Chains A and B, each alone.
Chain A
Amino acid sequence: MPVLSRTASFAAGARDTLPMIVGAAPFGLIFGALVASTPLALWHGQLMSLTVFAGSSQFIAAGLFATGVGYAVLWATTLIVNLRHMLYAANLLPHVKHLNLRWRAVLGFLLTDETFAVTSSYFHRHPDDPMGHWYFLGSALSMYLNWQLWTLAGLLFGAAFPRLQTLGLDFAMVATFIAIIVPQMARAPWAIATIVAGASAFLCRGMPYKLGLLVAVALGIAAGMLALHAKRRDGARPDSGGANNDRRNSAQDPSGMRSQEAPKGGAQ
């Protein structure tokens, strides 16, 4: 594939993020609307979207503000809920570490679940693209602007339609995540990791500060790793179909949908 220009890479990143942007829009709208039901002023809601830019922690914070919360619990909760971004960053690091500090800080600030999904899939397909950071920026900046816009819309209309969130618009996030998860379950270790994480998250849902989320992720990863290595040992036997399955699955791009598979070997 020929190397794209900066602008073309930026535009491709923004374009490939469009389904995520559509999925995040109602989420931003609901966050804005939700702020109206907390002691925060409306501009506090916009300030949070502008400076924090991490949807799930913003929702949880809005809930905490409504119940009255101390700084320590608020910030610890933010840390825990956002810890997954560290893992995303570690995953993408091989593709950004050659950039200058300002680029790395900006891309880090703008990193989200959605941009990770789109960008890691892109780097998996184009591990050596010298314009990959423009693709990343295009994806991240379009998410950022979209989030600001829908937060603002939600803030403005939140007072007028206070029951907005009860209509089920927040389900858009669940549906978006399902669309990311299901295609990855085609491979057994990822399916096992998903099922274990889901069951653990349900069983640990009562844990304070959303700690159950981290426990579920740890258990899911452990189960997935066990399955992956058991499968590899299995695949080493000549009479087993395991190796063939591996090859077939990796060769097949799930119908053009962005999967957020880690750029394993190509990520050196």
Chain B
Amino acid sequence: MNYVVAILGMAGVTFAVKAGIFVLGDRVRFPEWLREALSFVPVTVLTAIIVPMTLAPHGDGLELTWRNPQLVAALVAIAVCAATRHQLLTIGAGLAVIFAWQLGVLA
């Protein structure tokens, strides 16, 4: 496999996806129901990315246990965010817990 071809192909696909609608511009019309549907995209996509990573970090079974640092840190991050709505604090608390868990509790 030629890696440069592979990477530039990825770049072409990504550019078409990202810029296609911007480039077509006015020729694209979005009805109201579609706008409403689009408002659900961010939360659903981001959630769909992180839930499997958190609940099954090794790609197989459900790891609902205190020995799963991803899960523990995610629960703490959710709690901190719900309480403070502060983004950097949420990230900092999540990272602090995952490091502490792996280097301290589980070590």
Shortest B38–chain A CB gap in Å is 5
> How far, in whole Å, are A96 and B101 apart by their CA atoms in the complex?
45
B50 near A224 (CB under 8 angstroms)?
A: no
> How far, in whole Å, are A167 and B107 apart by their CA atoms in the complex?
12
Chain B contact residue count (CB 8 A cutoff) = 71
Cβ–Cβ < 8 Å partners of A221 in chain B: 37, 40-41, 44
A105 near B4 (CB under 8 angstroms)?
A: no
| CB 8 Å contact bits of A182-201 with B (1 = contact, 0 = none) | 11110001100110111111
> How far, in whole Å, are A177 and B87 apart by their CA atoms in the complex?
9
Q: A19-B87, A174-B54 are in contact. Are A71 and B42 (CB under 8 A)?
A: no
> How far, in whole Å, are A264 and B40 apart by their CA atoms in the complex?
11
A-facing residues in B40-58 (Cβ within 8 Å): 40-56
B105 touches A (CB below 8 Å): no
A116 touches B (CB below 8 Å): yes
Nearest A residue (CB) for B84: A255
Cβ–Cβ < 8 Å partners of A61 in chain B: 6-7, 10
B47 touches which of A40, A105, A111, A197 (Cβ 8 Å)? A197
A179 near B77 (CB under 8 angstroms)?
A: yes
Chain B interface residues toward A at CB < 8 A: 1, 3-11, 13-15, 17-23, 25-26, 28, 30, 33-56, 59, 62, 69-70, 73-74, 77-78, 81-82, 85-88, 90-91, 93-95, 98-99, 101-102
Contacts beyond the supplied A194-B47, A220-B44, A224-B44: 19 A-B pairs with Cβ under 8 Å? A22-B91, A39-B3, A41-B3, A56-B49, A57-B10, A78-B14, A79-B17, A86-B17, A96-B22, A111-B22, A174-B77, A175-B77, A175-B94, A176-B87, A194-B44, A201-B48, A202-B56, A225-B36, A225-B40
